[in-house]
Structure 1
Amino acid sequence: MTKFAGKTVIVTGGGGGIGSATSRRFAQAGGKVAVFDRDLPAARRVVDGIVAAGGQAAAFGCDITNRAEVNAAVAATEAQLGPIDVLVNNAGWDVFKPFTKTEPAQWDKLIAINLTGALHMHHAVLPGMAARKAGRIVNIASDAARVGSSGEAVYAACKGGLVAFSKTIAREHARHGITVNVVCPGPTDTALFAEYKEGAGNPEKLMEAFTRSIPLGRIGQPDDLPGAILFFASDDASFITGQVLSVSGGLTMNG
């Protein structure tokens, strides 16, 4: 499949579970993938795997909370791979505690990574997309944004903000041929979810409860997400913008 042949794709948090699965899928579909991650060795491991499989990718160390790093990484991507066609804002971080047990310093970090970082990426990439009258943006939020999630109050607030921001940017840039959509994972077997289970104090019991509550009967895997992400990024979704799709095995069903 070469649906993204010649397209330059940025995936933030590309060294992690969902990010790496998404980066590989874009590369398999012919995309030139810029793997952004603050953990540069992790990004390089993903790129090494893509290149070994015959794909095209490059790793960029980037802390999305730092605007200067974002600007530098975007400029380096365009110099090496070409103008940005697709942006996937996937990087995220969480603290798993009841809200009253958290501290303002944790709120600041949560907001910086989960909301402000995505704003930096949009602000850096949108002008070029608008000038070219084309672009696809897929923001990875969370079902916590849609229905709430105990122990993730500030994270849920950030992801809810990202949903509202995405809809607004979709309206502002529709005239430029840019679409902006949101994918909301449910519980997914990533390093972040492993931290969530440990924070609960009884990981096995929590895993059993989640599995029972998901109609399809299992926790999500990173490879469950790229299909929806690539759909929104493709020409097949050229008339879809400002939409939110849950990929959660039916845990949440929003009409």
Structure 2
Amino acid sequence: MMGLSGKVAVVTGGAGGIGAAICRRLTQAGTAVAIADVDLSAAERLTAELGQAGIRARAVELDVTALANVAAALDKIEADLGPIDILVNNAGWDKIEGFLTTTPELWERIIAINLRGPIALTHHVLSRMVPRAVGGRIINIGSDAGRVGSSGEAVYSACKGGLVALGKSLAREFAQAGITVNTVCPGPTDTPLLAMQLGLGDGARKISEGLRRAIPMKRLGVPQDVAGIVAFLASEEAAFITGQTLSVSGGLTMHG
């Protein structure tokens, strides 16, 4: 991809699943990556893996719900790697449960991770990008649950729908600053989070098989499917694309 070499990216939830695939893909294009994750040991393992290939990568412990710590984490990243050019809001979490059995405590956790955290990260990063006047890229990892809804994921779907609206609004506000904001919405993707949500046993297997049958391409997504479109949106080849929402779902969701 054009224009990624020498850039600096922050990927939240970057140590595993989709986040790790994004980090690997960006570094393949010459981007220095801050692997920001609540699981520091996992981030350090990925950093060591990438470092063996001579890639500039840094592990940073970051809990996106700990808003008071965000600025310090970004200061550390910029001190180590340089000014941030790309932010990928990837960190996410959910628990599948019928809405009437959920609690305010669960709502709060889902909102804090999936919506409030990305808002705070984006605010801090934009406050650094804008004065530099060299443009930038914000890429939110949403979900098709935020576009079409998902049973058992009402609050999560609301958060991901909120990310779509946030991205469109910021895209309008910062277009003249050369900063693009786009949202990528994965469909069902084979990650540790999905495995945790489905659980074990025959019931989980039946749900997984049902998902595969529903997807026109007859397979679940894999993290690498998402990483490619993120790298494209972060590159100069997507310089005239902003405010867009793209599904990566094997045709499960089609919006005209």
> Which residue of structure 1 aligns with residue 24 of structure 2?
24
The answer as to whether partners of 2:2 and 2:236 remain within 8 angstroms in 1 is: no
Structure 1 window deviating more from structure 2 (104-113 vs 119-128): it is: 119-128
How far the C-alpha of 1:68 sits from its partner, in A, is: 2.2
> Which residue of structure 2 aligns with residue 194 of structure 1?
195
TM-score relative to the length of structure 1:
0.97
CA RMSD in angstroms comes to 1.3
How far the C-alpha of 1:198 sits from its partner, in A, is: 1.3
Change in 2 beyond 3 A, CA 1:98/1:199: farther
TM-score relative to the length of structure 2:
0.97
Q: What is the DSSP-based 3-state SS (H/G/I as helix, E as strand, rest coil) of the residue aligned with 2:5? A: coil
What is the alpha-carbon distance in structure 2 between the residues aligned to residue 137 and residue 177 of structure 1? 11
> Which residue of structure 2 aligns with residue 173 of structure 1?
174
The answer as to whether partners of 2:15 and 2:43 remain within 8 angstroms in 1 is: yes
What is the alpha-carbon distance in structure 1 between the residues aligned to residue 197 and residue 80 of structure 2? 37
How far the C-alpha of 1:130 sits from its partner, in A, is: 0.9
Structure 1 ranges of 4+ moved more than 4 A: none
Change in 2 beyond 3 A, CA 1:130/1:199: farther
The answer as to whether partners of 1:141 and 1:160 remain within 8 angstroms in 2 is: yes
1:87 pairs with 2:93: no
The one-character-per-residue Cα deviations of 1:171-215 (angstroms, maximum 9, x if unpaired) are 111111100000000000111100221189711100110000000
Q: What is the DSSP-based 3-state SS (H/G/I as helix, E as strand, rest coil) of the residue aligned with 1:202? A: helix
The answer as to whether partners of 1:96 and 1:199 remain within 8 angstroms in 2 is: no
Change in 2 beyond 3 A, CA 1:199/1:104: farther
What is the alpha-carbon distance in structure 2 between the residues aligned to residue 99 and residue 237 of structure 1? 38
What is the alpha-carbon distance in structure 2 between the residues aligned to residue 200 and residue 183 of structure 1? 31
Greater RCO structure (CA 8 Å; 6+ sep)? 2
> Which residue of structure 2 aligns with residue 76 of structure 1?
76
> Which residue of structure 1 aligns with residue 165 of structure 2?
164
What is the alpha-carbon distance in structure 2 between the residues aligned to residue 4 and residue 54 of structure 1? 16
Change in 2 beyond 3 A, CA 1:200/1:142: farther
Q: Percent identity?
A: 55
How many residue pairs match? The answer is 255
